[in-house]
Amino acid sequence: MVELSTTKDGIPNQAEASDRVLQILSEAGRLFATKGYDGTSMRDIAVACGISKSLLYHHFSNKDEIYARVAVGSTLELYLFVRDRVPDGPPSQKIRAFMVATAEYFRRYRWAWIASTTAFWNDPDRHRQKERLTRRDRFENFLRGLIQEAIDAGEIRKVDVPMTGRLILSSLNWMHRWYNPNKSATPEQIADIFFDMVFNGLRSGDAAAPPPAEPPKSSRRKARQTSRS
Amino acid sequence: MVELSTTKDGIPNQAEASDRVLQILSEAGRLFATKGYDGTSMRDIAVACGISKSLLYHHFSNKDEIYARVAVGSTLELYLFVRDRVPDGPPSQKIRAFMVATAEYFRRYRWAWIASTTAFWNDPDRHRQKERLTRRDRFENFLRGLIQEAIDAGEIRKVDVPMTGRLILSSLNWMHRWYNPNKSATPEQIADIFFDMVFNGLRSGDAAAPPPAEPPKSSRRKARQTSRS
């Protein structure tokens, strides 16, 4: 897979990317996410980086080139990042690992994630939009495969697989709208809580129906930590 | 509450709104959602409506006035719309009604919904953004109240209330990204399936844990219908 190392601003550290390029991608991601593609100029990006426009043009020939790296680049590595973090084991635990890894990716590359998700409705480049959707499909199909595996293994009841995948992805994809990095729960802990809720259900053991089982130990510990935040 | 009647393009039919104004709001909503605020001009809106720019200016003095009606207007009525559709009864069924009503609102006012949600990161007007967040909070607090009620009644186990609210809202808020009006499942049916999954859990009765109860009859019927789509 593509080797990713963390950078302070959350852009994947690709082989050819210098610190300067990473800084540009990170600041540009933040501007695209908050001001939109049209609302962001090369000048804005240079100012945000504290560099001259000519130095910015030394690295990127135009705004579109920067945008392509930010918006498409982030979904490019997501699949590989998550796939490599799903271990062998019971299928339902693979789904949990899928959710936690996606949340970790979100935490590490948050502004690129937001820029990419914001581009969905208003990316002027149709070809790029199609490419991004193809990558999203690969990611989503990977999850659907895990859900089907869990059904085949008898761990999950016979639910609608695409709909289950959408519920799980919704919980992760909407996180950028409310997640606050200054609060104590990490995205990974939140993903863990969501897995517990969706897998075990909200219904109480005191309700008419039979009680749901206790969630796995690690899940319970994290849920307790974060419920106090 | 504000009386809403459906219009073909999904904008709330307010008292003072003529057919022409509704057409303008609907076309503008679609343009804002797909091209962004900055990417949409008064000229674009006039062309989309098949009217002259002067006629457009007869109804709205500038783009910002149209935008405010589209983006803020849709969250204004959401709370009232949903509140009036949550009946008395067991708290968990109120949560289900909340979800189905939100989905109905989404189906009826889809482009205004999308325009509003797209505006989140890049609305140039901070004051308006704050107003929208206040309204979102009222809507979210209403749901949290229902969840707390269900916990107090022993229908839902002692989960983290804000986190549960976020999981439920995520499933509804992300729908605009994948929902296809040409497929057979309606947003209301999808909301019903999501309620069943979250309330009863995905875990199979064959798994080591005790089996989850059967979902309510109406929920099962709809789940079967849509799982074939």
SS3 at position A52: coil
Tell me whether A152 touches chain B (CB under 8 Å).
no
Burial zone of B102 (CB within 10 Å; 0-12 exposed, 13-18 middle, 19+ buried): buried
- pLDDT reported for residue B44: 96
Tell me whether B205 touches chain A (CB under 8 Å).
yes
Separation in Å, CA of A121 to nearest CA in chain B: 5
Separation in Å, CA of A15 to nearest CA in chain B: 31
Q: Residue A224 above 60 pLDDT?
A: no
Structural domains in chain A? 72-227 (1.10.357.10)
Answer for the pair B57, B144: CB distance below 8 angstroms, yes or no.
no
- pLDDT reported for residue B68: 80
Closest CB from A38, A190, A194 relative to B38: A38
- pLDDT reported for residue A151: 96
- pLDDT reported for residue A192: 97
- pLDDT reported for residue B76: 62
Give the residue on B whose Cα is nearest the Cα of A213.
B209
Mean pLDDT of chain A: 79
Q: Residue A51 above 80 pLDDT?
A: yes
Closest CB from B177, B198, B204 relative to A156: B204
Q: What is the DSSP string of A132-200?
A: HHHHHHHHHHHHHHHHHHHHHTTSB-S--HHHHHHHHHHHHHTGGGT--TTSS--HHHHHHHHHHHHHH
- Asked if A213 lies within 8 A of B209 by C-beta distance, the reply is yes
Closest CA to A86 of A164, A149, A156: A149
Interfacial B residues in 13-52 facing A (CB < 8 Å): 33-39
Count the Cβ atoms, other than its own, within 10 Å of residue A39.
16
Which whole number is the average pLDDT over A1-30? 57
- pLDDT reported for residue B191: 98
Q: Rounded to whole angstroms, what are the CA distances from A4 to A12, A70, A80, A145? A: 6, 15, 10, 25
- Asked if B204 lies within 8 A of A160 by C-beta distance, the reply is no
Question: In this predicted model, which residue has the larger pLDDT, A196 or A221?
Answer: A196
Partners of A203 in beta bridges: B156
- pLDDT reported for residue B93: 97
Q: Which amino acid is at A188?
A: E
SS3 at position A221: helix
Q: What is the Cα–Cα distance from A109 to B226, expressed in whole angstroms?
A: 36
Q: What is the Cα–Cα distance from B52 to A84, expressed in whole angstroms?
A: 56
SS3 at position A6: coil
Handedness of CA A62, A64, A70, A72 (dihedral sign): negative
- Asked if A197 lies within 8 A of B194 by C-beta distance, the reply is no
- Per-residue pLDDT tens over the stretch A67-92: 887 776 666 678 888 999 999 999 99
Tell me whether B169 touches chain A (CB under 8 Å).
yes
- Asked if B92 lies within 8 A of A203 by C-beta distance, the reply is yes
**Which token pair is A23?**
């800084």
CA B213 to chain centre: 29
- Asked if A199 lies within 8 A of B198 by C-beta distance, the reply is no
ipTM of the complex: 0.71
Which residue is it, tokens 């505006």? B119
Residues of chain B with pLDDT below 50 are: 1-17, 208-229
Burial zone of A153 (CB within 10 Å; 0-12 exposed, 13-18 middle, 19+ buried): middle
**Which token pair is A87?**
């271990």
CA A102 to chain centre: 5
Answer for the pair B109, B10: CB distance below 8 angstroms, yes or no.
yes
Question: What's the per-residue H, E or C state across chain B?
Answer: CCCCCCCCCCCCCCCCCCHHHHHHHHHHHHHHHHHCCCCCCHHHHHHHHCCCHHHHHHHCCCHHHHHHHHHHHHHHHHHHHHHCCCCCCCHHHHHHHHHHHHHHHHHHCHHHHHHHHHHHHHCCCHHHHHHHHHHHHHHHHHHHHHHHHHHHCCCECCCCHHHHHHHHHHHHHCHHHCCCCCCCCCHHHHHHHHHHHHHHCCECCCCCCCCCCCCCHHHHHHHHHHHCC
- The 10 Å CB-count burial string (b at 16+, else e) for A90-104 is ebbbbbbbbbbbbbb
Q: Which amino acid is at A108?
A: R
- pLDDT reported for residue A214: 41
- Asked if A35 lies within 8 A of B122 by C-beta distance, the reply is yes
Measured between beta carbons, the chain A residues lying within 8 angstroms of B37 are 36
- Per-residue pLDDT tens over the stretch A91-144: 999 999 999 999 998 887 777 777 777 666 556 566 777 777 788 889 999 999
**Which token pair is B132?**
């929208």
SS3 at position A53: helix
- Asked if B155 lies within 8 A of A122 by C-beta distance, the reply is no
Q: What is the Cα–Cα distance from B136 to A181, expressed in whole angstroms?
A: 20
- pLDDT reported for residue A131: 76
Closest CA to B150 of B203, B91, B105: B91
- pLDDT reported for residue A43: 96
Measured between beta carbons, the chain A residues lying within 8 angstroms of B207 are 92, 154-156, 213
- Per-residue pLDDT tens over the stretch B71-114: 766 666 788 889 999 999 999 999 999 999 999 988 877 777 77
8-state DSSP, A206: T
- pLDDT reported for residue B228: 37
- pLDDT reported for residue A229: 34
